[in-house]
């Protein structure tokens, strides 16, 4: 089977598939005992920056569950230190010592050269590709500009995104200057990941869903589009016809605009019906999602019923099964297996 024939890539392109492919956001992560064993020996950041370890944990869920795609083990914040923003990763969540809030601080940031400044990620990709031996495709990823702005400006998690909104609405020119740098960082990094071997890329707009529909067009969508346009213009992307996935967590309010991102695949979080999304975004894109990560706390029979419901709503063409957000660390791996089995069995075309 050549790379372009993989189920996952076929579904990204809305080609017919014998069954719906599945992967899972954060599939390499804390819910897996094998991951925790590796993590016990290295800090989170060391794990991201050590190609051998990043490759090892990336492959674990492929070996364990037979997911139809691997996703690079890394973190969307990995680009920030290279841009000039220090980040720490304590257990309570990432923390930025000196959040970026002034124009001078924005102007001081630089767009990293991935080959020179993020070499460990590219090397991890090369090692993962070797380890995969073309069993399944590899997804690279980066944080979308608005989401990266939010982290950089808030300095960590936030309930109300007050600093972000002060910047967006109180100093929009500064916001645009920062978003421009973040868009170039995102595009450059994804291009380098594809050159290193990634077969598809996902742009994570985890915090793209915190604004009104008009501001969605003005900020997250506009800069995601810019990233996607830069990627489409890249010879590397053209040559391999690399699928681009755009994922906005909390996409329900923006469905009339979501498809205009230009992505091949739109990520769908668990809050919205995937059939409603299909109705509103049209047939020109594939959809990826959308089981509630919390639904994996339910008994296996209930998980199976929920999988069946999503498969029926999504239809057989242009659907990649996934959770609507990252798997929760407290999840029982056997419940993950129940989900994978259900998707394989219930989506099989007669």
Q: State the catalytic residues.
A: 26, 30, 39, 75, 151
Asked if 287 and 319 touch (Cβ cutoff 8 Å), the reply is yes
Closest contact distance (angstroms) between CB of 314 and its own copies is: 13
Closest contact distance (angstroms) between CB of 302 and its own copies is: 7
Window 194-223: contact mask with its own copies (x via CB under 8 A): ---------------xxxxxxx--------
For tokens 């050549």, the residue is: 2
Considering only residues 236 through 265, tell me which ones interact with its own copies, judged by CB under 8 A. Answer: 250, 252-253
Residue 91 neighbours by CB distance under 10 Å: 5
Closest contact distance (angstroms) between CB of 346 and its own copies is: 17
99, 217, 222, 297: which one binds its own copies (CB under 8 A): 297
What H or E segment, with its residue span, contains residue 49? helix 44-49
Residue closer to its own copies (CB basis): 98 or 279: 279
Closest contact distance (angstroms) between CB of 293 and its own copies is: 7
Q: Are strands 87-88 and 95-96 parallel, antiparallel or unpaired?
A: antiparallel
18, 33, 84, 157: which one binds its own copies (CB under 8 A): 157
Burial class (CB in 10 A: 0-12, 13-18, 19+), 179: buried
Asked if 309 and 273 touch (Cβ cutoff 8 Å), the reply is no
Q: Does 117 bind its own copies (CB under 8 A)?
A: no
Residue closer to its own copies (CB basis): 50 or 158: 158
The alpha carbon of 235 is separated from its chain's Cα centroid by a whole number of angstroms, namely 22
Considering only residues 328 through 347, tell me which ones interact with its own copies, judged by CB under 8 A. Answer: 328-330
Q: What CA–CA distance (Å, rounded) separates 343 from 258?
A: 26
Closest contact distance (angstroms) between CB of 287 and its own copies is: 15
Q: Is the dihedral of CA 263, 269, 275, 277 positive or negative?
A: negative
Asked if 129 and 70 touch (Cβ cutoff 8 Å), the reply is no
Q: Does 293 bind its own copies (CB under 8 A)?
A: yes
Residue closer to its own copies (CB basis): 53 or 272: 272
- Under 8 Å CB-to-CB from 228, ≥6 apart: which residues? 203, 244, 246, 261, 262, 263
Q: Does 309 bind its own copies (CB under 8 A)?
A: yes
Size of the site for its own copies (CB under 8 A): 41
Q: Does 298 bind its own copies (CB under 8 A)?
A: yes
Residue closer to its own copies (CB basis): 145 or 250: 250
Q: How far apart, in Å, are the Cα atoms of 105 and each of 89, 100, 109, 202?
A: 22, 6, 7, 28
Interface positions with its own copies (CB under 8 A): 93, 157, 159-162, 164-166, 168-170, 209-215, 250, 252-253, 270-273, 276, 292-295, 297-299, 302, 309, 324-325, 328-330
């Amino acid at each position: 089977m050549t790379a372009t024939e993989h189920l996952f890539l076929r579904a990204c392109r809305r080609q017919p598939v014998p069954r719906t492919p599945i992967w899972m956001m954060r599939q390499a992560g804390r819910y897996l005992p094998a991951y925790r064993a590796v993590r016990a020996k290295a800090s989170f950041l060391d794990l991201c920056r050590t190609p051998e370890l990043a490759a090892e944990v990336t492959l674990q869920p492929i070996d364990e569950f037979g997911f139809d795609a691997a996703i690079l083990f890394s973190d969307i914040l990995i680009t920030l230190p290279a841009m000039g923003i220090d980040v720490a990763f304590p257990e309570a969540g990432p923390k930025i010592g000196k959040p970026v809030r002034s124009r001078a601080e924005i102007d001081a940031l630089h767009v990293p050269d991935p080959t020179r400044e993020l070499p460990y990620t590219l090397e991890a990709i090369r090692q993962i590709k070797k380890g995969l031996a073309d069993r399944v495709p590899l997804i690279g990823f980066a944080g979308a500009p608005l989401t990266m702005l939010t982290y950089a400006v808030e300095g960590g998690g936030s309930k109300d995104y007050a600093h972000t909104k002060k910047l967006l609405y109180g100093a929009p020119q500064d916001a645009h200057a920062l978003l421009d740098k973040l868009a170039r960082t995102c595009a450059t990094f994804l291009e380098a990941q594809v050159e290193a071997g990634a077969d598809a890329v996902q742009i994570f707009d985890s915090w793209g869903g915190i604004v009104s529909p008009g501001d969605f067009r003005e900020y997250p969508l506009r800069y995601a589009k810019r990233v996607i346009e830069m990627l489409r213009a890249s010879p590397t992307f053209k040559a391999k016809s690399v699928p681009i996935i755009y994922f906005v967590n909390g996409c329900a309010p923006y469905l009339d605009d979501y498809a205009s991102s230009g992505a091949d695949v739109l990520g769908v979080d668990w809050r919205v019906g995937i059939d409603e999304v299909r109705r509103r975004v049209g047939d020109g894109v594939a959809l990826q999602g959308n089981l509630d990560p919390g639904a994996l706390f339910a008994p296996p029979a209930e998980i199976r019923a929920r999988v069946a419901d999503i498969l029926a709503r999504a239809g057989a063409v242009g659907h990649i099964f996934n959770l609507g957000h990252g798997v929760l660390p407290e999840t029982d791996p056997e419940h993950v297996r129940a989900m994978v089995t259900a998707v394989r069995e219930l989506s099989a075309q007669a």
